[in-house]
Structure 1
Amino acid sequence: MTTFSTWDGLELSYRVWEGDGIPIVLQHGVVADTNANWMGTGVVNALRATGRPVVSLDARGHGRSAKPHEPAAYSWQAMARDVRALYDELGGEQFDQVGYSMGAVVSLLVAGDDPRVRRLAIGGVGSGVVDCGGVDRRVVDADDLRAAMAGDGSTATARARPFRLLADAVHADRDAMAAVLAGLDERPIGDLADLTLPVLVLAGEDDPLAAEPERLAAALPDAHLVTVPGDHLMAVTSPDFHRALVDFLAAERVPAVQGFGSGAA
């Protein structure tokens, strides 16, 4: 893993797998990290097989990145600025951005503000982006998730319990997670009509947080929807998810940029 100092001085961790062409940047979901969301699920291996550079960022509060315990350190815009700061650190002119769940909302914000994003793939979200401006709070809200991080997790609701199990599995800093969830308790996404770049919407058939993904795809001017087997935590492991992502990012290839990346694994 490699670290850099982001726009407000926090040290963030990222990993690079070298390749040729436009880099693919991955942003994971809440509580997860590079290992849980992308490596252990087979996504990184599928993308590496294309020969492209792959970069994965551990969001602030997650993985090996800095973990402040103050909610003021966290916001959707702060996390989007972190991704743009990573682009600056990498030094590329174009990027393909991929986000899942929390990372999908962050990636939508990045793509809306940064012309360096060529293509965008988002998973684990659906009509909540349209109706709630981000993660679907009608299914599980920040208070439910914060309660799931407290104590032994016994007060977690059925919908929030998998996030506590994930936090324990990845040895998350639960105080930092509570701060993240407090800081992200806002509506970050507005009108999607101006987001004219190509977008892939990936949704698990049994994912309540990605309900009605066709409404999200319809709200985007140039979007393609693929549904895959699985719920919120398992859809990303599906070979169908991997194939759809690889096929979408393979379109409109440009001449290779040799030897991208200095932190290869």
Structure 2
Amino acid sequence: MTDHFTSFDGTRLAIHIEGEGRPVILLHGLFSSAHMNWIKWGHGARLAAAGFRAIMPDFRVHGDSEAPHDPAAYPPGVLVRDVAALAEHLGLEPGGFDLVGFSLGARTAIHAVAHGILQPRRLAICGMGVAGLGEWQRRAAHFKRVIDEFDTIKPGDPAYLARTFLKSQGVDRVAARLLLDAMDDFDLAMLANITMPVAVICGDEDQDNGSAEDLAALLPDAHYVEVPGTHMSSVTKPEMGVAIADFLAA
């Protein structure tokens, strides 16, 4: 089922839902979508079969959600505010839902929980390491270059894979550039605020966001789970969905 809701500033965002049961919000990665990360590879269906209600929003600028060109639509922390608006829209109470994020979605989930904006029962962080949080501006510069030099990036360039993926997803580059400017580095000391059980799940060949094992070690109640794949491929493999479902069902 696909539905829409109006976020805090009037932007219309899409939500895709599979299953019934305990709600779990799944946040996708940058330039991706709920369909590309969670639905296409069966992760949402796997959670539904395990007795969960998989709630999979498309971030603004992604998937079936709006991509406004007004800079005012991208205040600091805009994605956290969107997820908070989703939780309010669905009437989710603190401790009454679980939260999962991949890459940008993981980063967004960590910001939301560390700042006390969301209080899930359990938190699964996928495809994220220490560098992806504390050194976000360096990572963001890579994606800004992909957007700014989109028409001149050729095969062999380190940015070519990201350019190809962005093009395949039909991402609005003007809106994406505005969104990137709305994100800040994360103060790693705030990881101490994340006290619920956490699974840090990452591909065995994924170093795009730094060390996931080091991230797990910095969290008060976390363990590291290794699955096969690179940053791009790990989310396409069944082991990712199995690891999420097993952790949430424990």
Whether these two folds match at TM > 0.5 is: yes
Aligned partners of 1:124, 1:237: CA distance in 2, in Å? 12
Residue in 1 that maps onto 2:92: 92
Residue in 2 that maps onto 1:223: 222
Match of 2:241, SS state, is: helix
* 1:214-264 Cα distance to aligned partner (Å, 9 max, x none): 11001000001011111111111222222211110002xxxxxxxxxxxxx
* 8 Å Cα contact 1:122/1:201 also seen in 2: yes
Aligned partners of 1:210, 1:147: CA distance in 2, in Å? 17
Match of 2:77, SS state, is: helix
What amino acid is the match of 2:175?
A
What amino acid is the match of 2:42?
G
What amino acid is the match of 1:111?
V
Residue in 2 that maps onto 1:43: 43
Give the TM-score, by structure 2 length: 0.89
Aligned partners of 1:210, 1:221: CA distance in 2, in Å? 20
Residue in 1 that maps onto 2:10: 9
Query: Relative CO higher for 1 or 2, CA cutoff 8 Å, sep ≥ 6?
Result: 1
Residue in 2 that maps onto 1:104: 106
* 8 Å Cα contact 1:97/1:117 also seen in 2: yes
Residue in 2 that maps onto 1:124: 127
Aligned partners of 1:74, 1:145: CA distance in 2, in Å? 17
Match of 2:231, SS state, is: coil
Structure 1 residue 72, shift from structure 2 partner:
4.5
* 1:25-54 Cα distance to aligned partner (Å, 9 max, x none): 011111001111111232112212212111
Match of 1:118, SS state, is: coil
Structure 1 residue 116, shift from structure 2 partner:
3.6
Of stretches 94-103 and 108-117 in structure 1, the one that deviates more from structure 2 is: 108-117
Distance 1:48 1:18, change over 3 A: closer
Match of 1:237, SS state, is: coil
Q: How does 1:171-182 map to 2 (within 5 A)?
A: 171-182=170-181
Which residue, 148, 151, 165 being the options, matches 2:146?
A: 148
Match of 2:66, SS state, is: coil
Aligned partners of 1:156, 1:110: CA distance in 2, in Å? 37
Aligned partners of 1:68, 1:171: CA distance in 2, in Å? 15
* 8 Å Cα contact 1:148/1:163 also seen in 2: yes
* Coordinate RMSD, CA, aligned: 2.1
Identity of counterpart residues, as a percentage? 36
Distance 1:31 1:75, change over 3 A: farther
Aligned partners of 1:147, 1:155: CA distance in 2, in Å? 13
Aligned partners of 1:227, 1:75: CA distance in 2, in Å? 35
Match of 2:208, SS state, is: helix
* 8 Å Cα contact 2:146/2:159 also seen in 1: yes
* 8 Å Cα contact 2:19/2:49 also seen in 1: no
Match of 1:183, SS state, is: coil
Aligned partners of 1:190, 1:58: CA distance in 2, in Å? 27
* 8 Å Cα contact 2:123/2:196 also seen in 1: yes
Counterpart check, 1:241 vs 2:240:
yes
Match of 1:63, SS state, is: coil
Residue in 1 that maps onto 2:195: 196
Higher share of residues assigned helix: 2
Residue in 2 that maps onto 1:54: 54
What amino acid is the match of 2:105?
G
* 1:93-117 Cα distance to aligned partner (Å, 9 max, x none): 2110000111101101222214541
What amino acid is the match of 1:197?
M
* 1:76-132 Cα distance to aligned partner (Å, 9 max, x none): 622111111111111132110000111101101222214541111011111215642
Match of 2:181, SS state, is: helix
Count of residue pairs brought into register by the alignment: 244
What amino acid is the match of 1:200?
A
What amino acid is the match of 1:99?
G
